[in-house]
C-alpha cells in the first residue's frame, strides 16, 4: 500500500501523530487573517473533528481572509505552528464539509478548494498551494461550524457568494440542520488587512449585517474605519432584528442613506454612537451625511434609546434622486428570499423606503431637531451645532468651501434647553468653545442656570469649560497623509485558553 506524503514525513522525523489519541490545543481566541493562520487552523479543524469538546474553549474569532496586495494594519505575531493532517483526517474533513447543508454547488466549491489547497509536507516542511481565495473561505467555514461557544466575532471581507458567506447567511435565517453561532453576542465589522491604512476600508455593510442580525443571542454591532462600497442604493427591511440593541460606528465615511438604513434594522435600539472623519476616502468624494435623514431614523427609537453619541460632520440634505437603474435594483432586492423573510418579520407599519420616513418635527438647517421627547435618554454626547443648527467643526476654510456650508450661528428663538430631554443624567457637548459666539454662549449659560430646575438628574456637563473638538473637529474631510487618524494598537493574536 502506498504511504501518504504526511505519513512518510512523520516516519522520517519521529513517530507519526495518531489523531485517535491526539488532543488539539485549547484556544480562547483564534485568528484567521494572515496565510499562516489558515495553515494552523486546518490542523486544528482536524483535531476538533476527532475531539469536538476541544472546540468549546473558543469564544472569540478574528476573521478577515487576506487578498493579494493586502497587509495587516498592525504587526500581527505569527500563529502557532501547523499540525500534520494525514490522509484519513483529510477524508474526514471532506465528509464534514459535505455535511454542512450548503447545497450541491457550494459544497462542490468547498470540497474543491480544500482538495486543491490541502497542506503538503515535503522533507518535513509545510507548504500550501494557494490557488485561489476559496481555500481561506473553506477553512473559515469549517472552523465556524465546529466552535459552538463563539461570543465575539470580528469579521470583514466575506463575500456573499463564497461557502463561508452562504454558511453565515443560511445560518442567520435558520436554514441549516445544525445551526452555528447560537451564542454569538457581538459582531465587529473591523478590518485587519488593508491596501492602504490611511484610507477607509470599503465594505458592503448590509451584506455583512445580513449574516448575523437574526441570531438568538446577538446584542451588539460595531463598525470602524469604513466607507460604504455603494453608498446610495442599500435597502433593508426596518425592525427585522429583534436582538441588536447597540450599534457603534466609529471613524466612518457613509451617507445618510446608509447610516439611516443601519439604524432602522433593530426593533428596539438602546445605544447608538456615530463618529465621522479621520481617514482618506478612496475616491475623494464628499460626505452626504445630512442631519435630517439621520434624525428621522433615530426618532423611530425615541422610546428606547438610553445612550446616544453623535460626533458627526453633516452637510445639506442629499439631492440624490432614485433613477431607473436604482429602482430596478430595489425591486430585484425585494424579490430575494432573505428580503422577503426580513420584511415578513419586520415592522409592516413603517415605510420600507428611507425616503418615505416621515418628518415628525421641525428640522432647522443642519440640525437634528428636538430630542425633548426621547424620554428614555439618559446619556447624550453630541455636537452642539447639531442641536442648534450651525457649523461647529472648526475645520479649515477648505472644508467649508468643499461642502458649500455657510458659517452661521443659530437663531436665538431656538433654545438649547428646549431641545434636550428632561431624563438626562449625563451630557457632553462637542465643538463648543466659550467666547467664539456670544449667541451660543447665551444658550449654554441658560442651560447651566436652569439645569437643576429642568434636568433634575443631570450631573456635570462635559465640554463647557473645556473644549472638546471631537473627531470632525480634529480631522478634516480632506487629509494629508500625516494627518490621518491612526488606528489603535490592539491585541489581535491567538490566545490559548
What are 211-223's pLDDT values in tens digits? 999 999 999 999 9
Contact 136, 110 (CB under 8 A): no
Residues in the chain: 497
pLDDT at 357: 87
What's the predicted TM-score (pTM) here?
0.87
Angle between helices 87-98 and 35-50 (to 10 degrees): 90
CB burial class (10 A; 0-12, 13-18, 19+) of residue 220?
middle
Q: Of 308, 313, 315, whose CA–CA distance to 277 is shortest?
A: 313
Cα–Cα distance for residue pair 263/259, rounded to 1 Å? 6
pLDDT at 122: 46
pLDDT at 101: 87
pLDDT at 248: 98
Contact 365, 302 (CB under 8 A): no
Cell (9 digits) for 100: 454542512
pLDDT at 441: 93
Q: How far is CA 239 from CA 236, 262, 368, in A?
A: 9, 10, 21
Residues 6+ apart with CB under 8 A from 21: none
Q: What does each of the 497 residues of the chain score in pLDDT, given as a tens digit?
A: 343 333 322 322 323 334 455 667 889 999 999 888 988 898 899 999 999 999 999 999 999 988 765 666 655 666 676 666 667 788 889 999 999 988 888 888 888 888 765 555 445 454 444 446 788 899 999 999 999 999 999 999 999 988 999 999 999 999 998 999 999 999 999 998 877 888 888 888 889 999 999 999 999 999 999 988 765 556 899 999 999 999 999 999 988 889 999 999 999 999 999 999 988 887 655 566 888 889 999 999 999 999 999 999 887 555 556 667 777 877 888 889 999 999 999 887 888 887 788 888 788 777 899 999 999 999 999 999 999 988 888 543 444 434 444 455 565 667 999 999 999 999 999 999 998 888 899 999 999 999 999 999 999 899 999 999 999 888 887 788 888 888 888 889 999 98
Q: How far is CA 472 from CA 252, 253, 322, in A?
A: 11, 11, 29
Burial string for 363-389 (b: 16+ CB within 10 Å, else e) reads: bbbbbbbbbbebeebbebbbbbbbbbb
Cell (9 digits) for 274: 456615530
Q: Of 212, 207, 82, 61, whose CA–CA distance to 146 is shortest?
A: 61
Residues 6+ apart with CB under 8 A from 444: 384, 416, 429, 432, 434, 464
CB burial class (10 A; 0-12, 13-18, 19+) of residue 1?
exposed
pLDDT at 356: 84
Amino acid at each position: 500500500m502506498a504511504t501518504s506524503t504526511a505519513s512518510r514525513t512523520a516516519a522520517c522525523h519521529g513517530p507519526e501523530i495518531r489523531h485517535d489519541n491526539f488532543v488539539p490545543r485549547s484556544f480562547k481566541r483564534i485568528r484567521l487573517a494572515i496565510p499562516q493562520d489558515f495553515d494552523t487552523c486546518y490542523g486544528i479543524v482536524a483535531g476538533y473533528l476527532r475531539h469536538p469538546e476541544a472546540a468549546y474553549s473558543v469564544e472569540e474569532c478574528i476573521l478577515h481572509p487576506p487578498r493579494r496586495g493586502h497587509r495587516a494594519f498592525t504587526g500581527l505575531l505569527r500563529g502557532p505552528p501547523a499540525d500534520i493532517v494525514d490522509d484519513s483526517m483529510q477524508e474526514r474533513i471532506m465528509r464534514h464539509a459535505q455535511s454542512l447543508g450548503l447545497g450541491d454547488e457550494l459544497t462542490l466549491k468547498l470540497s474543491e478548494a480544500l482538495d486543491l489547497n490541502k497542506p503538503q509536507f515535503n522533507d518535513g516542511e509545510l507548504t500550501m498551494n494557494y490557488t485561489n481565495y476559496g481555500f481561506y473561505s473553506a477553512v473559515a467555514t469549517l472552523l465556524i461550524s465546529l466552535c459552538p461557544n463563539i461570543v465575539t466575532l470580528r469579521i470583514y471581507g466575506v463575500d456573499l457568494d463564497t461557502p463561508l458567506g452562504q454558511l453565515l447567511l443560511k445560518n442567520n435565517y435558520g436554514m441549516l440542520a445544525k445551526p452555528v453561532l447560537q451564542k454569538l453576542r457581538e459582531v465587529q465589522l473591523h478590518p485587519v488587512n488593508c491596501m492602504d491604512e490611511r484610507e477607509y476600508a470599503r465594505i458592503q455593510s448590509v451584506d455583512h449585517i445580513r449574516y448575523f442580525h437574526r441570531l438568538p443571542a446577538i446584542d451588539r454591532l460595531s463598525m470602524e474605519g469604513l466607507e460604504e462600497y455603494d453608498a446610495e442604493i442599500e435597502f433593508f427591511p426596518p425592525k427585522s432584528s429583534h436582538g441588536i440593541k447597540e450599534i457603534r460606528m466609529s471613524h466612518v465615511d457613509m451617507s445618510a442613506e446608509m447610516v439611516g438604513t443601519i439604524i432602522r434594522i433593530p426593533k428596539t435600539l438602546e445605544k447608538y454612537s456615530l463618529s465621522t472623519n479621520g481617514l482618506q476616502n478612496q475616491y475623494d468624494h464628499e460626505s452626504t451625511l445630512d442631519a435630517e435623514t439621520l434624525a428621522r431614523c433615530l426618532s423611530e427609537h425615541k422610546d428606547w434609546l438610553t445612550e446616544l453619541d453623535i460626533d458627526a460632520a453633516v452637510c445639506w440634505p442629499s439631492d440624490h434622486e432614485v433613477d431607473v437603474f436604482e429602482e430596478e435594483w430595489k425591486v430585484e432586492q425585494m424579490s430575494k428570499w432573505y428580503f422577503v423573510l426580513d420584511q415578513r418579520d419586520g415592522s409592516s407599519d413603517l415605510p420600507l423606503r428611507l425616503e418615505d420616513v416621515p418628518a415628525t418635527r421641525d428640522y432647522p438647517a443642519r440640525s437634528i431637531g428636538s430630542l425633548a421627547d426621547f424620554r428614555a435618554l439618559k446619556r447624550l454626547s453630541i455636537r452642539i451645532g447639531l442641536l442648534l443648527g450651525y457649523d461647529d467643526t472648526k475645520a479649515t476654510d477648505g472644508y467649508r468651501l468643499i461642502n458649500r456650508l455657510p458659517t452661521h450661528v443659530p437663531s436665538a428663538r431656538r433654545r438649547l434647553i428646549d431641545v434636550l430631554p428632561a431624563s438626562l443624567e449625563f451630557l457632553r457637548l462637542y465643538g463648543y468653545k466659550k467666547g467664539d459666539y456670544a449667541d451660543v454662549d447665551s444658550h449654554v449659560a441658560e442651560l447651566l442656570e436652569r439645569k437643576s430646575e429642568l434636568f433634575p438628574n443631570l450631573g456635570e456637563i462635559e465640554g463647557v469649560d473645556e473644549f472638546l473638538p471631537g473627531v470632525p473637529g480634529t480631522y478634516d474631510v480632506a487629509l494629508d497623509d500625516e494627518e490621518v487618524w491612526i488606528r489603535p494598537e490592539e491585541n489581535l493574536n491567538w490566545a490559548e485558553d
